A and B are shown apart, each in its own frame.
Chain A
Amino acid sequence: MRRKSKYMKISALLLCAVLLTGCSLPGLGGASDKTVKIGAQSFSESEILANMIAQLIERNTDQETVIIKNLGTNFVQQKAMEGGDIDIAATRYTGTDLTSVLGQEVEKDPEKAMDIVQREFKKQFGYKFFDSYGFDNTYAFTVTEEFARENNYKKISDLAGEAETLRLGIDSSWLKRKGDGYEAFVKAYGINFDHVFPMQIGLVYDALKSDKMDIALAYSSDGRIQANNLYLLEDDKRFFPPYDCSPVATGEVLKKFPEIEEQLEKLVGKIDTKKIQELNYEVDGKLKEPSVVAAEFLKENNYFE
């Protein structure tokens, strides 16, 4: 008989525990008041930076964090912030936010673009749009280093006059893009390529390497640029708008946990384009998880002291 009453007690205890913890179950974190929710999009650099932010906050403050991954687009990210599903967005890009969320004209000067975005986000949503991590993720024309040396190509204008013979591989969406797409590019630089191949972006690198392509339009932070020894041609006429990358936090979360702001500031200006290429490549090319790459970066740069 005594054993039975012990069972009853244990189950009663269990039930109480469950009722008490209510929203957040032990071991799972979850949505308690002390949890900071960080949003990440579904590409590597976004997940890496979200993990860095999460690890810094967990390490240096009392707050717990949870990363909401795979937010499809910048727009989804914005809506998730407005709805309170996330408190911090790990990667927001000035060029994208300027034209999509704020609905403004393209601004080619990176500093002006950053100023406008910071001011308007503060005014319209009460969000803090931090200064950039130090890298941007814009379109860039790339050639192999050999090819650049042989032909002495340094900037895009160097291609003028010779473009007829060159084979260009591009992301298929860019061909018809308004504002900074191919049509506008032809107008701005006066360079018209004869052989343009729209293809999936991942294939472009292999094509360059195997000499089936001469020039490719890539994303400047892509890890495969460094891994394949590619050279970025300078956009000397500033045709592509700046896409500087920054974290964004809601006003509420900064008010509730002021110490978070300091943690986010620690990453500002610390990751240049070369570094993010390296980190991206660790994930895309070397099968490392974004959280592992983030931890290694923070450790190497003495963030954990």
Chain B
Amino acid sequence: METLEQLLTYYSQNWPYVLTEFYRHFLMSAYGVLFAAMAAIPLGILIARKHRLSGWVFSIANVIQTTPALAMLALLMLVMGLGANTVILSLFLYSLLPILRNTYVGITGVEHAYLESGKAMGMTKMQLLRMVELPLSLSVIMAGLRTALVVAIGVTAIGTFVGSGGLGDIIVRGTNVSNGTAIILAGAIPTALMAVMADLLLGWLERRLSPVK
């Protein structure tokens, strides 16, 4: 009960600070996923066409995914120094696998009959991709983006160790002061809330973009 009271006091005194850190946290996560989408969606389409490449690409993405987040940040920090960019690059790397995998599955999962009828209508390869394959696989690709964003929001919280700011700052400060339970919660609750909100938002977008209503 006392913790809850402290939590409310904390928010009432520091809400502008929490808001800026929340915004910063979200921006970092979003940038990481956005850049990953820019690279991974085209790459996913490419390996769906050239199956022989897919084994290699997925092995590399798997290796990246299994590197622990703290180790990844520490490694990247040696090259890129402290700051938000280090975190964004590691988010980029973590987001590759879910987006790649889903794009690949989405594109290869399009039924052959649709492709054939498209071809029969005289569509070029680009037209097939834009008008048949992408719309039909969009919901699967979006599901990949959702996974990537939720994971990214969690990883960003660790970014505080390389001086990137974000809600992780609040959590770590809570661990440094003598009686910081309320402060730790004050940072952790918005982080979890952000993940839930991002998931709902992208879910809504996914339904909007789906061709089958």
Which B residue sits closest to A200, measured CB to CB?
B178
B83→A292 contact, CB < 8 A: no
Asked if A122 is at the interface (CB within 8 A of a chain B CB), the reply is no
**CA of A292 to CA of B20, assembled, Å:** 12
- B108-122 interface mask toward A, CB cutoff 8 Å, 1 = contact, 0 = none? 000000000000000
Main secondary structure of the interface of B (DSSP, over half): helix
B38→A85 contact, CB < 8 A: no
Total inter-chain residue pairs, C-beta < 8 Å: 73
What chain B residues lie within 8 Å of A27 (beta carbons)? 23-24, 27
Q: How far is the CB of A155 from chain B (nearest CB, A)?
A: 29
User: Which stretch from A63-71, A97-105, A243-251, A265-273 is at the chain B interface?
Assistant: A63-71
Asked if B22 is at the interface (CB within 8 A of a chain A CB), the reply is no
What chain A residues lie within 8 Å of B183 (beta carbons)? 287
B14→A289 contact, CB < 8 A: yes
What chain B residues lie within 8 Å of A286 (beta carbons)? 9, 13
Q: How far is the CB of B152 from chain A (nearest CB, A)?
A: 14
A70→B161 contact, CB < 8 A: yes
Asked if A258 is at the interface (CB within 8 A of a chain B CB), the reply is no
What chain A residues lie within 8 Å of B23 (beta carbons)? 27
Which B residue sits closest to A43, measured CB to CB?
B176
Interface size of A in residues (CB-CB distance below 8 Å)? 31
A18→B17 contact, CB < 8 A: no
User: Which stretch from A28-36, A142-150, A208-216 is at the chain B interface?
Assistant: A28-36
**CA of A69 to CA of B163, assembled, Å:** 6
**CA of A25 to CA of B164, assembled, Å:** 13
What chain A residues lie within 8 Å of B157 (beta carbons)? none
Which A residue sits closest to B166, measured CB to CB?
A28
What chain B residues lie within 8 Å of A30 (beta carbons)? 83-85
Asked if B49 is at the interface (CB within 8 A of a chain A CB), the reply is no
- A-B CB contact pairs (8 Å), 18 listed: A25-B27, A25-B84, A25-B88, A27-B27, A28-B84, A30-B83, A30-B85, A31-B83, A42-B176, A43-B176, A66-B83, A69-B160, A283-B177, A286-B9, A286-B13, A287-B6, A287-B14, A292-B16
